[in-house]
Amino acid sequence: MHIHNQLLITDIPRRNMYLFGNKVAIVFKRMRISHREFYARTNKVANALMHLGLRKGSRCAILAKNNNAYLECFYGVPKAGGVFVPLNYRLSPRELVHILNDCCPQILIYDERFGDKVDSIKDRVNVENFISLGGPQGSEGEYEQLLDQSSKEEPEISLSQLGSEDDCCIIYTSGTTGMPKGVVLTQRNMVANMWGVQVAYRCTHLDTHIAVMPFYHAGSLQYSAVHYAVGGTVVILERFDVEDFFRVVEREKVTTAFLVSSLLERLAEEWKKSDYDIRSLRLIFYGASGIPRERLKEILSTFECQFTQGYGMTELGPRGVSYFTPEDHEAAMKNPAKERRLSSCGTVTPTVEIKIVDDSGKILSAGEIGEICVRGEPVFRCYWNNEKETEQALRDGWFHTGDLGFLDEDGFLYIVDRKKDMIISGGENIYSAEVEKVILSHPCVLDCAVFGIPDKEWGEAVHAMIVLRPGMRTSEKEIVEFCKQHMASYKKPRSIQFVDFIPRNSMGKIVKQELRDQYLKNSEGSRTHNGSR
Amino acid sequence: MHIHNQLLITDIPRRNMYLFGNKVAIVFKRMRISHREFYARTNKVANALMHLGLRKGSRCAILAKNNNAYLECFYGVPKAGGVFVPLNYRLSPRELVHILNDCCPQILIYDERFGDKVDSIKDRVNVENFISLGGPQGSEGEYEQLLDQSSKEEPEISLSQLGSEDDCCIIYTSGTTGMPKGVVLTQRNMVANMWGVQVAYRCTHLDTHIAVMPFYHAGSLQYSAVHYAVGGTVVILERFDVEDFFRVVEREKVTTAFLVSSLLERLAEEWKKSDYDIRSLRLIFYGASGIPRERLKEILSTFECQFTQGYGMTELGPRGVSYFTPEDHEAAMKNPAKERRLSSCGTVTPTVEIKIVDDSGKILSAGEIGEICVRGEPVFRCYWNNEKETEQALRDGWFHTGDLGFLDEDGFLYIVDRKKDMIISGGENIYSAEVEKVILSHPCVLDCAVFGIPDKEWGEAVHAMIVLRPGMRTSEKEIVEFCKQHMASYKKPRSIQFVDFIPRNSMGKIVKQELRDQYLKNSEGSRTHNGSR
């Protein structure tokens, strides 16, 4: 232990055991785990894994729904010197095999409900040990047995042989092109991220956080981890359900929650009808993407609590680059002159530096759109096994996010589009996300995806895929007219496809490259078909 | 610039120039300095100092009342690779000479009102350059001339040649024994401290901080620096004056302030009488020391804002080891069961680990009193030129604070006494601070100091020096009776001295070692005198 060094992720359970020993750290189903017990359990995880032969730097993956073991492994695996790899349980077997053969975990801990999935890939991966967590019916798995057999003493490696530069986690991003990439986060990254998250939630030992989003989502995991880290309580739900949510908020006097935008919308609808006493909820951190500003204002005014949202990514572990704070929300809701800021993702957090650059690397001024670049302690070390992508992303002292955005005069950051989703038509830059926002604000539209397709005259042309709300009807012409009313005419779609649904990847993201490829293949096919008539 | 590295103190002005260029950063007298101008001015400071020959690691001291140059040098001196040394202007020439010959600054920047003091010591120190800041009448000093002649471009050394382990500041602690010690704080320390302070204030770019406590106080300097760092505004007052304070809070819509306990008391008295609109003030960070709990409750209830206090020290730069948050205040003011916590200094902040140990180093449990030990990024690197004191303080992986305290079952930290001020009488530990608190709660008592004196029977005996409130009268017997009513009898003073004032050092601290020495010398004198009769 070095006096001046960063406290590591692995130091936190010991710290909390000493300060908050008898306090409840984790609530899951009927389990109430105190900070003292949690410390012991993270030690047992580490000792059990080392007994199975886990060596420093080896990976230990987890494939599970939300449960206490997830957080125990998040803190416990690095205590053995291991690297924790949360896996998205929505991934196809093919994708899982790709990831497992990419990071080659020595151990895979899995929820028995995914037993079939695990069985189906066992032969195609090089995992030495599989540890089951027990089933959905509460049957005890090997995990609990292993813990029972292990010492609750903190292993020596955790006490004195770890450092800030050790790898701590690998989190796979879905990537909107190609196969998932493993984002390697060191202890330094994770710790910096954690305290950055604390600033967003302003969480203290007095808070109780409800974890409803899946832990394979880097945000959900970190946000829960930080509430534990400050000595608070984390109440874990296996999945989101409105009724459960309200009941647990009332029972546990929950103070903070993290919700993606679609769940925020659903919750808003039920909020006023609810009979539960949910006044304890003081802050909701929400994913802002995809909600038009007017609708967002409406949603937020439903609740009687504070709000935070931000701009982050797995490469920052997934700490926000910027946060739109409760005070920013208050100002924007009250003051029409500041309402526009509801579409921003706030101001840049203090421990990172950002710049917006054009393609030549020139630093742009307020109002000018360019690629957002970030540097500072939260920035990931590398993509696992992927030197090319790492070099592409981390260059000239900056992480190039691939996101396009701009800063306004007051330092608020606006995200405009993914760089590779920008459409260049007739020499003009058209941001697909902007066109999508306009189309989504049309009352008949439920979902939409906009991307560029090759065009002889314009280079690229704007193409829109649209899903209508049930029972609603409209025409291509009406949508185009609507677009012309709400943005510059050159941005309007040149062609529209009405479809039943927009395909998304396992993280819920639209993979535009695939949509475009599919579209081109189909239209080529139809042309071929036409030609062969 | 390394992507994953900590943002340094020296990176902050550049970051803020880019994000908040046109926003006001510093207000001092009639000057309103924007973030863009502040960035330029810190670069000019660095370029000017390098032109004078400042080399990496050289010290640059400042002896001044609060002004804009203080913060410019705090950020600017390290940009030249220099180490910033703020000096307490209340120090005697003898103490100043000691410090200047201890850290040997190459450059001393001074306020012209301290010109005589500087002249009187010039011959006894080895400073190469003296730079005057201009006088109290606003005459322009050499500082402004040097800036005028310097480039506003950021020097190369600041852009690429500094690191987290470089020394950034040396701040001298008054020390309650012997001569001041120089606390060396690295960039890593200062940055960790800064974001720790942010959590206490919860400050954002929307805040305006009023700096009224002298900047040579590590707290006052850091608290202002962090409000600047998040993109906020710092309004600097040369000194505290109730009328000025209210006027400036109204004019600048000040949101946060830092006040030592005596000023908090004075402000509370004037608060309700004031005609100024001071509703913008949302949080006061106060020094809690020396205010009995009942009185504190009374004071706090006067204000209509939130409160924070904490336990910190220069060796932590001076970030709090613990903070008693606004929510903690609220709970303690509302709930009688939690009122006792008003005497605590809150819960331990997340980036440090603490332990309470006995003399053998054994870790103590909740409720047990021992020495408070701390580790983590905020802990200072060393005492300048003082290996012995450094080794004494930083050992076995922990900073031994020299403070005695305990944790309660809920993780709240209570400070009991300085270790060396504890009195051992008849085998019992008696905490001088506890006895002082009781005596101070007597209605006749204005000030008091308690220390141990040698006693043949008990080893040590409790001795109290007491200053009565004007016009009040009481007796030794009455005080002793009062003490017996409010604490265990063995803690009561065995002898009492009524005096006109309690001598304090230049930081306002009572130096008990000196009081005891003086007392023993006098009593010996009087005995000799008696003997010679």
The stretch B479-504 carries a mean pLDDT of 90
Give the list of residues 6+ apart from residue A135 with CB closer than 8 angstroms, or none: A112, A113, A115, A141
Residue A71: predicted pLDDT? 98
For residue A140, the 8-state DSSP code is B
- Under a CB-based contact definition with an 8 Å cutoff, are residues A419 and A472 in contact? no
B20, A411: Cβ pair inside 8 Å? yes
Answer yes or no: is pLDDT of B506 > 70. Answer: no
A331, B206: Cβ pair inside 8 Å? yes
Output the six-digit token pair for A157.
């490696």
A6, B376: Cβ pair inside 8 Å? yes
A128 — contact with chain B (CB < 8 Å)? no
Output the six-digit token pair for A8.
């590591």
Q: How does pLDDT run across B336-361, given as a tens digit for each residue?
A: 999 999 989 999 998 899 999 999 99
Of B21, B206, B376, the CB nearest to A7: B376
- Under a CB-based contact definition with an 8 Å cutoff, are residues A370 and A358 in contact? yes
Of A3, A20, A188, the CB nearest to B394: A3
A399, B3: Cβ pair inside 8 Å? yes
**Band of pLDDT at residue B158, cut at 50, 70 and 90:** very high
- Identify the residue whose tokens are 């002292």: A397
User: How many beta carbons lie within 10 A of that of residue A353, not counting itself?
Assistant: 21
Of A7, A186, A398, the CB nearest to B351: A7
B271 — contact with chain A (CB < 8 Å)? no
B399 — contact with chain A (CB < 8 Å)? yes
- For B81-142, the DSSP string reads T-EEEE--TTS-HHHHHHHHHHH--SEEEE-GGGHHHHHHHGGGS--SEEEE-B-TT--B-H
Of A189, A376, A398, the CB nearest to B7: A376
Q: Which helix (H) or strand (E) holds B323?
A: strand B320-324
Q: How does pLDDT run across B434-445, given as a tens digit for each residue?
A: 899 889 889 999
Residue-by-residue pLDDT tens, chain A, 533 positions? 567 788 999 999 999 999 999 999 999 999 999 999 999 999 999 999 999 999 999 999 999 999 999 999 999 999 999 999 999 998 889 889 999 999 999 999 999 999 999 999 999 999 999 999 976 665 678 999 999 999 999 999 999 899 999 999 999 987 655 678 999 999 999 999 888 888 889 999 999 999 999 999 888 999 999 999 999 999 999 989 999 999 999 999 999 999 988 888 889 888 878 889 999 999 999 986 667 788 888 888 888 899 999 998 899 877 679 999 999 999 999 999 999 999 899 999 988 999 999 999 999 999 999 999 999 999 999 999 999 999 999 998 899 999 999 999 999 999 998 888 889 888 888 888 889 988 998 999 999 999 999 888 888 999 999 999 999 999 999 999 999 998 888 899 999 999 998 988 766 778 888 888 888 888 765 544 433 33
A11, B394: Cβ pair inside 8 Å? no
* Distance to chain B for A349, nearest Cα, Å: 8
Distance between CA atoms of B206 and A432, rounded to whole angstroms?
A: 32
* Distance to chain B for A228, nearest Cα, Å: 11
Q: Is the ipTM of this complex over 0.85?
A: yes
Q: Which helix (H) or strand (E) holds A484?
A: helix A476-486
- Under a CB-based contact definition with an 8 Å cutoff, are residues A198 and A190 in contact? no
User: How many beta carbons lie within 10 A of that of residue B328, not counting itself?
Assistant: 24
Q: Which domains does chain A have, with CATH numbers?
A: 428-532 (3.30.300.30)
Buried/exposed code over B80-116 (b: 16+ C-beta within 10 A; e: otherwise) = bbbbbbbbbbebeeebbbbbbebbbbbbbbbbbbbee
Answer yes or no: is pLDDT of B531 > 50. Answer: no
Q: Is the alpha carbon torsion for B299, B303, B309, B314 positive or negative?
A: negative
B5, A376: Cβ pair inside 8 Å? yes
> What is the 3-state secondary structure of B346-387?
CEECCCCEEEEECCCCCECCCCCCEEEEEECCCCCCEECCCH
Q: Which helix (H) or strand (E) holds B333?
A: helix B326-334
Of B7, B331, B352, the CB nearest to A351: B7
Partners of A376 on chain B (C-beta within 8 Å) are 4-7
Partners of A5 on chain B (C-beta within 8 Å) are 375-377
* Distance to chain A for B167, nearest Cα, Å: 13
Interface contacts (A, B; CB < 8 Å): 152
* Distance to chain A for B378, nearest Cα, Å: 7
Pairing of strands B413-418, B398-407: antiparallel
Q: Which helix (H) or strand (E) holds A461?
A: strand A459-468
Distance between CA atoms of B235 and B223, rounded to whole angstroms?
A: 12
The stretch B271-279 carries a mean pLDDT of 87
A352 — contact with chain B (CB < 8 Å)? yes
B519 — contact with chain A (CB < 8 Å)? no
- What is the Cα Rg of chain A in Å? 24
Answer yes or no: is pLDDT of B44 > 50. Answer: yes
B376, A5: Cβ pair inside 8 Å? yes
Lowest-confidence segment of A169-183, A291-305, B147-161, B370-384 by average pLDDT? A169-183
A9 to chain B: closest CA residue? B351
B351, A20: Cβ pair inside 8 Å? no
B188, A4: Cβ pair inside 8 Å? yes
Q: Which helix (H) or strand (E) holds A436?
A: helix A432-440
In B195-234, the residues whose Cβ lies within 8 Å of chain A are: 195, 198-199, 202, 204-206, 229-231
The stretch B281-288 carries a mean pLDDT of 89
A198, B350: Cβ pair inside 8 Å? yes
Torsion of CA B3, B8, B13, B15, to 10 degrees: 20
For residue A189, the 8-state DSSP code is H
A4, B380: Cβ pair inside 8 Å? yes
Query: Measuring CA to CA, how many Å separate A3 from each of A7, A80, A159, B63, B181?
Result: 9, 22, 13, 31, 19
* Distance to chain B for A261, nearest Cα, Å: 25
Q: How long a stretch of residues is chain B?
A: 533
Return the amino acid letter for A108.
Answer: L
- For B219-275, the DSSP string reads HHHHHHHHHHHTT-EEEE-SS--HHHHHHHHHHHT--EEEE-HHHHHHHHHHHTT--
Best to test chain A binding among B4, B22, B356, B413 (most A CBs inside 10 Å) = B4
B4, A189: Cβ pair inside 8 Å? yes
Partners of B189 on chain A (C-beta within 8 Å) are 4
- Under a CB-based contact definition with an 8 Å cutoff, are residues B462 and B492 in contact? yes
A325 — contact with chain B (CB < 8 Å)? yes
SS3 A135: coil
> Minimal CA–CA distance to A451: which of A471, A425, A477, A481?
A425
For residue A129, the 8-state DSSP code is E
Answer yes or no: is pLDDT of B474 > 50. Answer: yes
A377, B7: Cβ pair inside 8 Å? yes
For residue B281, the 8-state DSSP code is -
User: How many beta carbons lie within 10 A of that of residue A365, not counting itself?
Assistant: 12
Answer yes or no: is pLDDT of B1 > 60. Answer: no
- Under a CB-based contact definition with an 8 Å cutoff, are residues B238 and B265 in contact? no
Helices then strands, counting H and E runs in chain B, come out as 17, 26
B363 — contact with chain A (CB < 8 Å)? yes
- Under a CB-based contact definition with an 8 Å cutoff, are residues B305 and B280 in contact? no
A350, B18: Cβ pair inside 8 Å? no
Of A206, A231, A347, the CB nearest to B231: A347
Partners of A399 on chain B (C-beta within 8 Å) are 3
Output the six-digit token pair for A36.
């003292």
- For B94-108, the DSSP string reads HHHHHHHHHH--SEE
**Band of pLDDT at residue B239, cut at 50, 70 and 90:** confident
B407 — contact with chain A (CB < 8 Å)? yes
Best to test chain B binding among A205, A345, A362, A363 (most B CBs inside 10 Å) = A205
Partners of B376 on chain A (C-beta within 8 Å) are 4-7
A114 — contact with chain B (CB < 8 Å)? no
Answer yes or no: is pLDDT of B276 > 70. Answer: yes
**Band of pLDDT at residue B225, cut at 50, 70 and 90:** very high
Backbone dihedral region of B247: left (phi > 0), alpha (psi from -120 to 50 degrees) or beta? alpha
Residue A126: predicted pLDDT? 94
* Distance to chain A for B153, nearest Cα, Å: 16
A331 — contact with chain B (CB < 8 Å)? yes
* Distance to chain A for B194, nearest Cα, Å: 10
A1 to chain B: closest CA residue? B397
B20 — contact with chain A (CB < 8 Å)? yes
Residue A195: predicted pLDDT? 86
B347 — contact with chain A (CB < 8 Å)? yes
In B44-103, the residues whose Cβ lies within 8 Å of chain A are: none
Distance between CA atoms of A147 and A165, rounded to whole angstroms?
A: 28
Answer yes or no: is pLDDT of B530 > 50. Answer: no
B364 to chain A: closest CA residue? A18
Distance between CA atoms of A379 and B458, rounded to whole angstroms?
A: 61
